[in-house]
Amino acid sequence: MAALAYALPLLMLASALAVRLSAPRLGPFVARISVGASALVFALAVILFSVQLSAESGRLVGIGLGLFTLYVDWLSTLMALLVSGVSLVVHVFSVRYMQDDPAYTRYFMLLDGIVAVILLMVMAGDLLTLLLAWHLVGVFLYFLLNHDRRRPAATRYAFWTLFMHRFGDLPLLAAVALIYHAFGTLTLPEVFAAMAAAPNTTTLLGLPLAETLGVLILLAAFAKSAQFPLHTWLPYTMDGPTPVSALMHAGIVNSGGFLINRFAPVFVHTEGVLLLAFAVGLITTIMGSLMMLMQSDIKKALGYSTMGQMGYMVMECGLGAFSLAIYHLIAHGVFKATLFLGSGAIIGNARKDPNIPEGEIYQFMVERKVPHPPVSWVIFAGITITVPLLIVFGAHQLVDEGFLHHQGALILLLFGWITGAQTLFFVYKIGGERPFTLLLYVILSFGLVIMTYVLVGHAFDALLYPDPAFREALYAAASVNFTSFLLALLLLIALIAGGWLMVFRSTAERQPLNRRWRGVYLNLYALMSREFYIADLYSRAGETILAASKRLNTLLHWV
């Protein structure tokens, strides 16, 4: 087991070294070394995950130094399987995609290196190894994003990424220092055991240790997973190679969700900390989804889409659904990597044949022709509101009757209901000759997706956190006062239902929602088109700091 675990990152490091040493002799054929090593690592990850499935618990493996230990459990082996699988696809895709690049050898060397440190990060068994890998991921990413040094935009935004990742290193570094100060150990199982034995331990200034660590870990995860307002590095990194974007969106931005899950034994002893994750994740989800709709560049739109999905993942953690966040992480990683790798072909085909086949969707989306609604908006509003709610509620009741006893589960049900209702509303807006046939297909598809999501999410729950008491403790840590929760939930439902009814009526009557609010809508559109001025604010802050440093340098020159 120990040799198999260490083989994963070491093989990728050996591949990077072999690529560098063999480049003068093999030339572009060095890519075969990299692809072969990636395939071998994926096969070993499958074996390691299969072995861990039959194990009763995780185990710590080391080389006798007390450092550079690896923690082999269900979470680490599952993440290693994801990373190695996406890495293999990216390696194979890069062989031809990057073949005309003058720095072909350097690209594969860096690609092997970043995969190695990601594998080391997800399998780290002590805090120093985790911190080292966490830091090196940002360093390797900087060099990969700045691969084409002839592009000023690539250099600029690669530095933005490096700076934001360094910002995310600081909270994790502080958490490591506080843990060692409190318990005198850096080994993860020992830290978790000490935290469980003394959950009320205090730290500097008398602050509760569990809550302090929880906030620091969340801050580190926010920076790495592009949470608002630390998100600006993610959508602006599209000047890097497309395979790097695929790996980044499938394996690097997901590290925030992994970090939160790795420290789940800390969060069970916190109170109110997970509300921060829920609030930031909710804001990020909304902002990312809105700004995605404003983009004309397909890769930048995918970047903001990833931002929104990462917000949803963090929000799931904030609701206590830690294992569901891991399933979301894996599903989104595979899906988004596929989209990025296929984006170039889509752009190329669009340039060759820009004609779009006309139809009901084309008329609605491009020509803005709204057909006559098939039935009264009252009837369709009732279908839109009730059917998704019945599907989502019934799916969870069939799988786990106790699921609805958690506050976080009700919030997740609400978001599932909103998603289904939006889909049915789109069917109503499009209209068409056979709207009810299309509606039936949409309902069946939505039911299948929800049932799969619930079944797989429940399976992940049993796999990653087999102790039911621990799962209940996670949901309890994410709970709030029942009265406050009920009032907030009712207010949110009322706002959503009111908005839907207004939109349905406006669609049926062919009139704007409210002409008096037209100026407000235009201002909101302008605000979103400038991405809420967050990037401009950071640029102005950077210019101010540089100007101040120049003045200080001039002053010190004369001192």
Q: Where are the beta strands (DSSP E) in 9-61?
A: 59-61
Q: What are phi and psi of 353, to 5 degrees?
A: -140, 90
401 and 264: one domain? no
Q: Please, how many CA atoms are within 13 Å of residue 365, restricted to the half-sphere of its CB?
A: 10
* Nearest-angstrom CA–CA distance, 556 and 550: 10
User: Is 526 a domain residue?
Assistant: no
The answer to whether residue 147 is domain-embedded is yes
Q: Report the chain's C-alpha Rg in angstroms.
A: 25
Give just the sign of the alpha carbon dihedral 533, 537, 538, 540.
positive
Per the CB < 8 A criterion, the answer to whether 131 and 262 are in contact is no
Q: For residue 126, which phi and psi values (nearest 5 degrees)?
A: -135, 160
In a domain, 55, yes or no: yes
Mark whether 336 and 442 lie in a shared domain.
Answer: no
Q: Is residue 121 part of a domain?
A: yes
Domain check: are 128 and 41 in the same one?
A: yes
Q: What angle do CA 51, 55, 58 make, to 5 degrees?
A: 105
**What pLDDT does residue 215 have?**
92
**338 and 430 in a common domain:** no
| Domain enclosing residue 120, as ranges | 2-349
pTM score over 0.85: no
| Residue at 12 is within a domain | yes
Q: Say if residue 62 is in the same domain as residue 165.
A: yes
List phi, psi (to 5°) of 187: -75, 130
Q: How many CB atoms are closer than 10 A to CB 503? A: 16
378/317 same-domain check: no
* 410 lies in some domain: yes
In a domain, 165, yes or no: yes
The answer to whether the Cα torsion of 445, 78, 252, 327 is positive or negative is positive
Q: Contact 327/460 with Cβ under 8 angstroms?
A: yes
Decide: residue 132, CB within 10 A, 0-12 exposed, 13-18 middle, 19+ buried: middle
Q: Is residue 547 part of a domain?
A: no
Give the C-alpha separation, 483 to 480, whole Å. Answer: 9
The residue behind tokens 């068409």 is 432
β-bridge partners, 124: 70
**Residue 13: half-sphere exposure toward Cβ, Cα within 13 Å:** 12
Residue pair 114/83 in contact (Cβ under 8 Å)? The answer is no
124 plus 212 within the same structural domain: yes
Q: Is 208 helix (H, G, I), strand (E, B) or coil?
A: strand
Within 10 angstroms of residue 538's Cβ, the number of other Cβ atoms is 17
Last residue of a domain, one of 491, 511, 531: 511
- 25 & 173 share domain: yes
Question: Looking at residue 303, what is its pLDDT?
Answer: 79
Let me know whether 341 and 374 are in one domain.
Answer: no
Number of domains making up the chain: 2
Unique residue bearing structure tokens 């020509």: 367
Residues 308 and 183 occupy one common structural domain: yes
Confidence at residue 103, expressed as pLDDT on a 0 to 100 scale: 80
Give the pLDDT score at 508: 47
Does 333 lie in the same domain as 400? no
Q: Give pLDDT tens digits along the chain (559 positions).
A: 678 888 999 999 999 998 888 877 877 788 888 999 999 999 999 999 998 888 878 788 887 766 788 999 889 999 999 999 989 988 888 888 887 778 888 888 999 999 999 999 999 989 999 999 999 998 998 888 887 777 777 777 788 888 888 888 899 999 999 999 888 888 999 999 998 888 888 888 888 998 999 999 999 999 888 888 888 888 777 777 888 888 887 778 888 889 999 999 999 988 888 888 888 888 888 888 778 777 767 777 777 888 888 888 888 888 888 888 888 888 888 888 887 787 666 666 666 665 555 555 445 444 445 555 555 556 666 666 677 767 767 766 666 665 556 655 666 666 666 666 666 666 655 555 566 666 676 677 777 777 777 777 778 888 888 888 888 888 888 776 666 666 666 766 666 566 555 555 554 444 454 555 566 666 777 777 777 777 778 778 878 888 888 888 888 766 5
Check whether residue 374 and residue 268 sit in a common domain: no
